[in-house]
Each structure stands twice: as C-alpha cells, then as structure tokens.
Amino acid sequence: MPATRYSVLKGTPVSGSISPDSRPHYLLELNAAGARWQVAVNVESDTGLGANAQVLYALQGNWTPPDAAALRALPPGITELAGVDADPAIDYLRSRADGQSLVTRDSMTKLPLPGPDASENAENPVIRFLDEYLASSAGSGTVYAFGSQYTSGNGIHDIHMNQGNPAADHGADNGIWQDGLLVLSTEQAPWAALFIAFQDQVWSTDQHGNPLEPGSTTPQELLKDS
C-alpha cells in the first residue's frame, strides 16, 4: 500500500539528536499545536542495504516552493494530505516551481557510509546543515516535514522519495504525490529544502509510482498529455 497517512507536519524546531539504531536518523524535535513531535530524517547510508540502496541527498538553500502561500496557510500540527496532484503535496517527478522540477537525480549526492573514515558528524553535510539550522533557529524558525505519520506516537518519517522502489524492496510503498521533504524556514532565509532518495529508486514512474521500463513514457510526458 502507498505511504501510511501521508501528511505534512508544521512546527517550531526545539532540538535534534542522532538515533542510536543501525540505520541512523536525525531526530528533529518540534513543538506544534501544543504537543511535541518528532521528525526522523535519514542521515547516513547503510552498507547493509547494498551499494545501490545508499542514501542520496540534495540541499537547496534558496528554494522556491510550488505554492508558498499554501505552506504558510497550513495550521501548526499535522495535516493529512490526499496523495493527489494538489498543493502542498510533493512529488519529486511531477511537482513544479516556476515551471521547473523541484529536484533531479543528477543534482543529488551520495551520503557518506559509516566507518572510521566518515564517523564524525562534522563530515556529514546533512547533520551539519541541521545542526546549524537549530543553532540559529531553535524556538523561532518553522519546519514543514512531509512524510508518513508514525503508527504510534507523535512523529513523522519517510522523509524521502516514496516512489520508484523495486518491486521486491519497498515496492508496496510506491505511490505518486506522496514524497517526503524537509522544508526549513527562518525570517532571514524564507525557504530551504532537503531532498532524500535512494540509489536504487527509479526516476521515471507510472501513475501508481512503480518504476517504468526504459523507453517508457516519462512523468513529464504524461503531464503534457493530461
């Protein structure tokens, strides 16, 4: 089935820490609508996933949202989205801002692998970015986290591309208009965005988010015909 309760969480950042599990996440804590919420962001590739499933990222410090007004109008707390072509839902392949794709596969970089040569947080660009954001904006900035709600407790995860997965590996999670995204806002820098994907995800999908065979119609071509 597609992403579980695809939603966007809007809140004020409070703190952040690295999870102790074998697939590390940056656990960003937010205050929203009188409650504390957690956002779990993938921050490290995992050798156990295999070379093709390692984590990719793209940071956009001067980002243009598809609909900034729709983001600003969101109430604090969690808002469930329908997973359809309607702002502010996010689709890495189909969303447009100023007529351009939000992100491309070629613009993404592989996150470091764990190990003695890449174990310091300071060497991880995503951890460094989030730490610096919290240092300047804790208690005053605004975070918009797109992903799947936790099945238990106040939290959101799957802050990454949620389509194009191989059938045998998270293929059941595929869908369109349900991609994860972390958007950070401050008074000084209105919009910054963190995009996360995996190397084995295909960047051409059908209307169910499943990988298209090489040479098939691309999402962009499908949009032209719609």
**How far, in Å, CA of 129 to CA of 27, rounded?**
13
One-letter identity of residue 21: D
Question: Residue 111's pLDDT is what?
Answer: 85
**How far, in Å, CA of 67 to CA of 49, rounded?**
35
Short-list 73, 16, 61, 60, CA closest to 41: 16
- Grade residue 3 by pLDDT with cuts at 50, 70 and 90: confident
Question: Residue 23's pLDDT is what?
Answer: 63
Length of the chain: 226
Short-list 87, 92, 78, 88, CA closest to 156: 78
Tens of pLDDT, residues 90-143: 999 999 999 999 999 999 998 876 654 444 444 789 999 999 999 999 889 999
Q: Which two tokens stand for residue 166?
A: 């191989």
**What angle (nearest 5°) sits at the alpha carbon of residue 146, between those of residues 29 and 15?**
10
Contact 163, 152 (CB under 8 A): no
In this structure, the number of other CB atoms found within 10 A of the CB of residue 27 comes to 18
Tell me which of 24 and 16 has the higher pLDDT.
Answer: 16
pLDDT at residue 223 is higher than 60: no
pTM given for the model: 0.88
**How far, in Å, CA of 170 to CA of 149, rounded?**
17
- Grade residue 224 by pLDDT with cuts at 50, 70 and 90: very low
